[in-house]
Amino acid sequence: MTLSSGALFALGLFAAIWLLAGLWAVGRGVAMQRRSAFVAGQAERLAGLVDASPYLPVIVRADWRVEAGERLGRWLGLDRGPRNFDELRGLGAGLDAQGHDALRQAIVGAQRGAKPFTMSLKPQGSERTIVIHGGAAPQAVGGPGGVLLWLSDATDGQHALAQARSDRDEAMAAFEALSGLIEAAPFPMWFRENDLRLALVNRAYVRAVEAKGAAAVIEGGIELCEPIAGVSAAEAADEARAAGTAQTRTIPVTIEGERRIMRVVDVPLAPEGGRVIGIAGYAIDIQELESERGAHRRFADTQRELLDRLSAAVAQFGPDQALLFANQPFRRLFALAADDVAEARPFARLLDAWRDGGRIPEVRDYPDWRQAHVDWFAKPGASEEDWLLRDGTHLHVVAQPTPDGGMLLLAEDRTEQVQLAGARDTLLRVRTATFDNLFEAIAVFAPDGRLHLWNQRFRRLWGIDEPTLAAHPRVDVLMGGLADRLAKPNQISIVQEVIRAATLERTQRVGEVRFADGRHFDFASIPLPDGNALLIMLDITPSRKMEEALRERNEALEAADKVKTAFLSRMSYELRTPLTSIGGFGEMLQAGYAGKLGEQQRAYVDAIMDSVAVLARQIDNVLDLAQGEAGTLVIERAPVDMKALLDKALADAKPLAAGEKIELVGNIAAAVGTVEADAPRLSRLVAGLLDNAIRFTAPSRKSGGRVLLHADGDAKGVDIIVSDNGPGMPDAVVAVTKGTQAGTQSGGIGLALARQLVAAHGGTMEVMSEKGQGTLVRISLPRGA
């Protein structure tokens, strides 16, 4: 059959529509399948969440059917999950009758009034506690009249709650005990809240501030500590809170009207790193402690000051073996610097340093020696040693352990004692040898009169055997048997008496005895510092003979000196008479009484007059020297203008200086003034000094000779100095100026006379001379007689 084109079109269109409808149906089915799988997955995840949740959902429908998982049966101790409400109660399992009825009533109330409820039940025969939260179920979940219950196992929570209640009770008991302890504490304690106000104080606090009670203290905000350096007690507590740690202050506090030193502590309270809930505080009275510390500190300072004054070296080490103190002798002896004490160096390290510095003995095994000395700290008693150092120092060392585990180290330098002991032995041997070789007979008697020491000359002098002397007899017994040795036996009592005076009266006595054989002895008893008495006997027989010879010679010398003095005096007068005549005739010739003189004649006459003046001055000098030695020199005092006198002396000496080519310089101050003196003799004195200076300088100086006359004065006197740059004077001439040697030269005679004239005026003369440099003569004269 042949279809028309329209029919074919319609048929094709229908097929296409059918194909499209099929494709849509297939797509829709696939989409629904995917959605169903998604819903199933979601349902499975929700079921898993429910199973994993600590809460168990239970639906009780209006007809009391129960929809729940098997977990409910396990919680209730049933064999399987209940299917209706009555199955919740079983024999020995499930809910008991009372719990079952109570749950029923609660569900009924929720069904009727949509009132939610919460209750806890405990299944029979189980320690499990189940908490039930119930309320009307949504229509989509429980249908009309349905109730949704959420059950949770609160067994662990209940145990924790019980434990918490128990802990709370214990904490409250501990808090009550602590509160009682704080209240009974003998020192003030308090608590501040975060606003820094007082919230709690104990009875000691109330007594300290003298308040009526704790309420009055808290209400009035009465602070125990007044502001110190501008910081109040609340501000100090705030600083502790800000720091997060306890803060301690030592401040003065008034306690019951008395000023005391207190240690105040503020402690911020925060639970395990949480925020601070308050600040606790307490104050401890340390007045007695501070007083004891001050007394101990003063005692220690006094002790160390005393140790510094000791000659013995002392060092103190602490329980950690560190150096705490060393006095000055110890520092010097062991070469300790201030840093060694300040750094508190250990004893072992000090030993090492002392070894390097040679302040300990040289030992073969130093490590063992070092350890043995470090062990001194642990010994129960003191340890003593003698150390010989490399430089020859001898030390006696004592180590005394202290009760606190430290050690006191004392070192005494016995070098001098050892040296003295050796020197003493040497001195004893030297003394014995010296005593035995002395020219004197020596014996030492003890304070009780017994013979203590003697030399061999004493034994031989008295003719006593050694055993008798070795018995140390008393002086009366010893001397009683020696009287027959003397020319006059009764003089033995004199010897006994001088020994008794030296031992008992501590006075020195002397005497002389003559032995029967004609020998003469001087003896003396001398008190010794140790209480003994020294008897010395010296043979003066030769000196007695010499004395007689010297006495005879002295008498002859005195007679000769008198003859010399008389001769010089007579010769001075005998020479003065013709010299006066010569001078007189010379003056007449100069005056022209014999006629006018020619120039040559006048020069001769002037030379004669100069020689007359020099000779007259020498005669006067010799006469004055003789009178001075004889002690008959008379000084005629009168006011003397010293400047005029010295100027004239300079003028008179200038011709001689010019002739000798000597520079003569005068330096005379106006302050020389006047003195009470013998003007002629004083003029001769100065002229003689200038003359000697010019004459002694001239031969040694071809050019450049210089003589200086210097004079100055003050209220007490006048100083005259004559100096030159000549060759200096011989020692013998200088000795004349000191009166130790007679003058034998012109210079010596002039200086000797000058010394006598200065002494006669009450002054002093000093001569200083050095060979090749010159001579200086200083004369000091008083103003008055």
pLDDT by residue (tens digit) across 283-316? 888 877 777 777 767 777 777 677 677 678 888 8
Alpha-carbon gap, residue 269 to 262, rounded angstroms:
22
Cβ-contact 608, 582 below 8 angstroms = yes
458-480 average pLDDT score: 87
Return the top range by mean pLDDT from 36-45, 371-380, 630-639: 371-380
Return the top range by mean pLDDT from 332-346, 670-684, 746-760: 670-684
510-516 average pLDDT score: 87
The three state secondary structure string of 345-380 is CEHHHHHHHHHHCCCCCCCCCHHHHHHHHHHHHHCC
pLDDT of residue 745: 40
747 confidence band (pLDDT: 50, 70, 90): very low
571-586 average pLDDT score: 73
pLDDT of residue 705: 86
Residue 546: count of CB within 10 angstroms of its CB: 11
Asked if residue 230 has pLDDT above 60, the reply is yes
Asked if residue 210 has pLDDT above 70, the reply is yes
635 confidence band (pLDDT: 50, 70, 90): confident
628 confidence band (pLDDT: 50, 70, 90): low
Q: What phi and psi, each to the nearest 5 degrees, are found at residue 91?
A: -85, 110
Asked if residue 29 has pLDDT above 70, the reply is no
CB neighbour list of residue 761: distance below 8 Å, 6 or more residues apart: 635, 677, 678, 682, 781, 782
Closest alpha carbon to 327 in 306, 345, 299: 306
780 confidence band (pLDDT: 50, 70, 90): very high
Higher pLDDT, 204 or 310: 204
Asked if residue 28 has pLDDT above 60, the reply is yes
Alpha-carbon gap, residue 322 to 316, rounded angstroms:
9
104 confidence band (pLDDT: 50, 70, 90): confident
Asked if residue 743 has pLDDT above 60, the reply is no
pLDDT of residue 718: 94
| Tokens linked to 485 | 């040795």
* CB-side neighbour CA atoms (13 Å) of 380: 0
pLDDT of residue 371: 93
Measured between alpha carbons, how far is residue 596 from residues 51, 224, 591 in Å? 181, 133, 9
435-447 average pLDDT score: 84
Alpha-carbon gap, residue 340 to 375, rounded angstroms:
21
Asked if residue 91 has pLDDT above 70, the reply is no
- % of the chain with per-residue pLDDT over 90: 12
6 confidence band (pLDDT: 50, 70, 90): low
Return the top range by mean pLDDT from 260-274, 306-320, 652-666: 652-666
Cβ-contact 766, 741 below 8 angstroms = no
| Whole-number average pLDDT of the chain | 81
CB neighbour list of residue 325: distance below 8 Å, 6 or more residues apart: 304, 307, 315, 316, 341
Asked if residue 225 has pLDDT above 80, the reply is yes
Widest Cα–Cα separation across the chain:
229
Q: Sheet harboring 774-782: ordered strands across?
A: 663-668, 706-713, 717-724, 774-782, 764-770
644 confidence band (pLDDT: 50, 70, 90): very high
Alpha-carbon gap, residue 478 to 493, rounded angstroms:
12
Cβ-contact 325, 315 below 8 angstroms = yes
Return the top range by mean pLDDT from 319-323, 575-579, 584-588: 319-323
Alpha-carbon gap, residue 745 to 252, rounded angstroms:
97
615 confidence band (pLDDT: 50, 70, 90): confident
Residue entry with tokens 């003859």: 563
397 confidence band (pLDDT: 50, 70, 90): very high
746 confidence band (pLDDT: 50, 70, 90): very low
Cβ-contact 77, 94 below 8 angstroms = yes
pLDDT of residue 415: 85
Q: Sheet harboring 66-67: ordered strands across?
A: 66-67, 55-60, 147-153, 130-136, 117-121
211-220 average pLDDT score: 86
How would you label 126-157 residue by residue, b for 16+ Cβ within 10 Å and e otherwise?
eebbbbbebbbbeeeebeebbbbbebbbbbee
CB neighbour list of residue 413: distance below 8 Å, 6 or more residues apart: 313, 333, 393, 394, 395
14-36 average pLDDT score: 67
| Tokens linked to 70 | 């098997």
- % of the chain with per-residue pLDDT over 70: 83
383 confidence band (pLDDT: 50, 70, 90): very high
Q: H helices within 592-678, ranges in order? A: 599-630, 642-659
* CB-side neighbour CA atoms (13 Å) of 694: 23
385-399 average pLDDT score: 90
pLDDT of residue 367: 92
Please measure the distance between the N-terminal and C-terminal CA atoms of the chain and give it in whole angstroms: 201
pLDDT of residue 778: 94
Closest alpha carbon to 649 in 675, 681, 609, 622: 681
Alpha-carbon gap, residue 706 to 279, rounded angstroms:
103
146 confidence band (pLDDT: 50, 70, 90): confident
Asked if residue 43 has pLDDT above 60, the reply is no
pLDDT of residue 748: 42
160 confidence band (pLDDT: 50, 70, 90): low
SS3 call for 709: strand
Higher pLDDT, 403 or 91: 403
205-233 average pLDDT score: 86
pLDDT of residue 782: 93
140 confidence band (pLDDT: 50, 70, 90): low
Asked if residue 741 has pLDDT above 50, the reply is no
